[in-house]
């Protein structure tokens, strides 16, 4: 089945109003790089509205996290409804930095994905093994357990994107070997098909993330069942993000 690639930029805790010129450059290139691809930037919540205005319709915006509840006494948190309210179409949930820094477990991530759906957003559910788990040969077991625990029932190609991000490859400049990525994505595809059935399981996009850069994007994004990338550091520079988009094969 053909899946439309998604290139998603995760700005993490970076980005001030004065850095919106990078988004302007992405918006200007969007007609070309968005041909056959979906483009997404997840800036910090403080500049979501301003980003929406600059990026227009060709590049979607998304949140980096959401609370499971629609509203309430949760100081400092944001609901999926609030993200949708300012024009977000996606939200990342269960990023390994949230799992590590905020003790989010699979059940919490699953509740956040359900919250995303309640608000009409696409949930980008992140999973990935630690270096110790990889060295112990546990990678596929860990990924299977994370999918089982973090992905809610009712997932479809329209409401779920899975992001495979080996924890040890995030922000380190190290990427997983091509054959390891192929193994992981093939395993994840089979797991989704088993869980969701042939049609829905084949429709869910599986992104690779972890030190994706212009120099390695063509190789990584050509791997079977890699349907796009979740890009951290390199998404902060328009030139790099644009180069990664260009390197992503379409159809």
User: Which residues belong to the active site?
Assistant: 95, 165
Q: State the residue number with the nearest CB to ligand PGA.
A: 232
| Token pair listed for 29 | 């290139």
- Written as six digits, the tokens of 103 are 């003790």
**Is there a contact between 137 and 99 (Cβ–Cβ < 8 Å)?**
no
In angstroms, the CA 50 to CA 80 distance is: 18
Q: How many CB atoms lie within 10 A of CB 178?
A: 14
Token pair in block for residue 180: 């390891």
Find residue 206's DSSP bridge partners: 162
d(CA 79, CA 142): 28
Identify which of residues 8 and 48 has a Cβ nearer to ligand PGA in the complex: 8
Strand partners, 90: 62, 122
User: Cβ of 154: how many Cβ atoms within 10 Å?
Assistant: 12
CA 106, 129, 147: angle at the middle one, nearest 5? Answer: 40
Residue 131's alpha-carbon distances to 77, 97, 115, 168, in angstroms, are: 30, 15, 30, 5
Residues that bind ligand PGA (CB under 6 A): 10, 165, 170-171, 209-212, 230-234
152 within 8 A of 110, measured Cβ to Cβ: yes
Closest separation between CB of residue 199 and ligand PGA, Å? Answer: 28
CA distance 142 to 107: 15
Nearest distance, CB of residue 131 and ligand PGA, angstroms: 14
Distance separating alpha carbons of residues 245 and 239, to the nearest angstrom: 10
Residue 209: CB minimum distance to ligand PGA, A: 4
């Amino acid at each position: 089945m053909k899946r439309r690639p998604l290139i998603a930029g995760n700005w993490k805790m970076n980005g001030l109003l004065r850095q919106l010129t990078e988004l302007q450059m992405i918006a200007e290139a969007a007609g070309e790089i968005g041909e056959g691809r979906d483009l997404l930037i997840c800036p910090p919540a403080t500049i979501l509205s301003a980003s929406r205005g600059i990026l227009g319709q060709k590049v979607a915006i998304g949140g980096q996290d959401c609370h499971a509840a629609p509203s309430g006494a949760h100081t400092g948190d944001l609901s999926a409804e609030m993200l949708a309210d300012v024009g977000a179409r996606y939200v990342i949930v269960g990023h390994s930095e949230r799992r590590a820094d905020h003790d989010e477990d699979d059940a919490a991530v699953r509740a956040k994905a359900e919250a995303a759906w309640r608000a009409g957003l696409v949930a980008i559910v992140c999973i990935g093994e630690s270096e110790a788990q990889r060295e112990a040969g546990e990678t596929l077991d860990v990924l299977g357990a994370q999918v089982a625990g973090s992905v809610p029932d009712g997932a479809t190609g329209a409401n779920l994107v899975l992001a495979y991000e080996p924890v040890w490859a995030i922000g380190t400049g190290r990427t997983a070997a091509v054959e390891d990525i192929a193994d992981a994505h093939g395993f994840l595809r089979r797991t989704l098909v088993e869980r969701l059935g042939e049609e829905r399981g084949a429709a869910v996009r599986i992104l690779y993330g972890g030190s994706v850069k212009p120099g390695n994007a063509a190789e990584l994004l050509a791997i079977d069942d890699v349907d796009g990338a979740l890009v951290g550091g390199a998404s902060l520079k328009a030139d790099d993000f644009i180069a990664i988009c260009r390197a992503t094969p379409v159809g």
